[in-house]
Amino acid sequence: MSNYYNKMIETAPRHEMRALQSYNLSKTVRRVYENVPLYRQRMDEAGVKPDDIRSIDDLKLLPFTMKKDLRDTYPYGLFAVPMSQVVRLHASSGTTGKQIVVGYTENDLKMWGECVARALTAIGGSNKDFVHVSYGYGLFTGGLGLHYGAELLGATVIPTSTGNTARQILILKDFGSTILCSTPSYALYLIEALKESGIKKEELKLKAGFFGAEPWTEEMRLQIEEGLGIKAYDIYGLSEIAGPGVSFNCECQDGLHVNEDNFYPEIIDPVTLEPLPDGEQGELVFTCLTKEAFPLIRYRTRDIASITHEKCKCGRTLVRMTKPCGRSDDMLIIRGVNVFPSQIESVLLSMGDTSPHYLLIVDRKNNLDTLEIKVEVSAEIFSSDSIKHLQEVEARIRSKIESTLGIAAKITLVEPKTLERTEGKAKRVIDNRKF
């Protein structure tokens, strides 16, 4: 049995949760209808009035919100309260287009902080912990999101933000950090730097880590757990909905519990837009039930996942989502086949021959799509110093990729550290095709 930050909510029987959700949904819909022009316009077009939304079952009557809507109403067009009540702004990194702006009232910040506190508690965190926040502080929701949740929990927060890895390692050792929060790419980078520093993972007091802000595979989780000697947990979120803490792994590491009293999840077919049943994969959609400043209704995240209402062994009844297996905009179509970079990552890591650093280069030659995968050679496979062995590794990777993806790829082994390392989201794909 787990510790719970908010036992009443986290273990609420389903009918009680639905009643709470229905109550908050109708309140929020009325508020956005009255205060957000885009929502009034959309609801009027669909012939839906706030009075029509009496329960969570009526959610399907409401229109969707897309990222484009946030860009079109930049910066404050979707805010539902006067700016005098907005005490915080955050913005996305804008990796695909114009940045989007989100806002929070004082109550929103408390709610978000509690979501993160629940997450930290679920992985065994408490006020005795030293939470090392290596997410960037600033407009990005990662740093401040983990910070406030950890502070609310009463833990000792170490706000290192990103960068200055040598110093971070010293802090991990000297300050006695027990929970690390960063992107999974940065964790792998830290593991390399730790090896080079000569400080052993056993010298650190780290017991757990919360990783997110980019997709990462089960294989990467095992690498991080091994490299740092910790349990590695998933934390999920997006700025449009709040930030990290929308959902979180518990100690079972079997799906992520959604803080559904605040963020109601749906899975829809991205083509027909029809809701899909539990267990089926589709696009994740969230509705903010309790946010004041920036409550989005049926926001299409473009993340692909499935949900389940089966009770978790930790005792929580909060609905669980699977780890997102890729964003529909991460997806590449190569020779008519859907390819997610994460699938390639899975293959590489499960083979164990190479480091997890790779780059996909997609091109078009003679009217045919081509895929080249550059993979960094690791010290382990080079120790034999044999051309034949390296060629065998190349051939094995090529064959495994072909059987997994259904398309052939050129595999190029490259020197270590020649592929870009970033502290934020790792750039894994170069698509040279011009459409």
For other proteins, the binding residues (CB under 8 A) are 377, 379, 382-387, 390-391, 394, 412-418
Helix (H) or strand (E) holding 401: helix 387-405
Nearer to other proteins, 269 or 392 (CB): 392
Distance of CA 227 to CAs 68, 130, 221, 327, 376, Å?
40, 20, 10, 27, 18
| Minimum distance, C-beta of residue 378 to other proteins, in the bound complex (Å) | 8
Nearer to other proteins, 254 or 394 (CB): 394
Q: Least distance (Å) from other proteins to the CB of residue 417?
A: 5
Output the smallest distance, CB 361 to other proteins, in A: 13
| Least gap, CB of 409 to other proteins (angstroms) | 13
Q: Decide whether 41 or 412 has the Cβ nearer to other proteins.
A: 412
Residue 406: phi and psi, rounded to 5, are 90, 5
Instruction: Considering the complex, state which of residue 189 and residue 233 has its C-beta at the smaller distance from other proteins.
Output: 189
Spatial separation of the C-alpha atoms in residues 395 and 416, rounded to whole Å? 19
For 360, the 3-state DSSP assignment is strand
Distance CA 377, CA 379 (A): 7
**Cα 433 to Cα 435: distance, rounded to the nearest angstrom:** 6
Residue 161 C-beta: closest distance to other proteins, Å: 26
**Planar angle of CA 391, 396, 400, nearest 5 degrees:** 150
Q: Which of 41/386 has CB closer to other proteins?
A: 386
Shortest distance (Å) from residue 262 CB to other proteins: 46
Helices (H), ranges, 11-74: 14-35, 37-46, 67-72
Minimum distance from CB of 83 to other proteins (Å)?
A: 50
Determine contact, residues 174/206, Cβ cutoff 8 Å: no
- Quick one: tokens of 32? 């956005």
Which residue is listed with tokens 């650190």?
204
State which H helix or E strand residue 392 sits in. helix 387-405
310 is written with which tokens?
């089966």
Nearer to other proteins, 61 or 390 (CB): 390
Q: Give the integer Cα–Cα distance in Å for 344 and 21.
A: 39
Q: How far is the CB of 415 from other proteins (least distance, A)?
A: 4
User: Is residue 375 helix, strand or coil?
Assistant: strand
Q: Which is nearer to other proteins, 89 or 193 (CB)?
A: 193
**Residues 102/295, Cβ–Cβ less than 8 Å:** no
Nearer to other proteins, 41 or 391 (CB): 391
In the complex, least distance from residue 335 CB atom to other proteins, rounded to whole angstroms? 22
**Alpha-carbon span 55 to 66, nearest angstrom:** 23
Closer to other proteins by Cβ: residue 273 or 419 = 419
- Least distance from other proteins to the Cβ atom of residue 373, Å: 12
Q: What is the rounded CA–CA span in Å between residue 135 and residue 141?
A: 9
H helices, E strands: number in the chain: 12, 20
Strand order in 368-376's β-sheet? 410-414, 368-376, 358-365, 429-431
Cα separation, 205 vs 178, in Å, equals 5
- Largest separation between any pair of C-alpha atoms in the chain: 73
User: In this complex, which beta carbon is closest to other proteins, that of residue 381 or of residue 407?
Assistant: 381
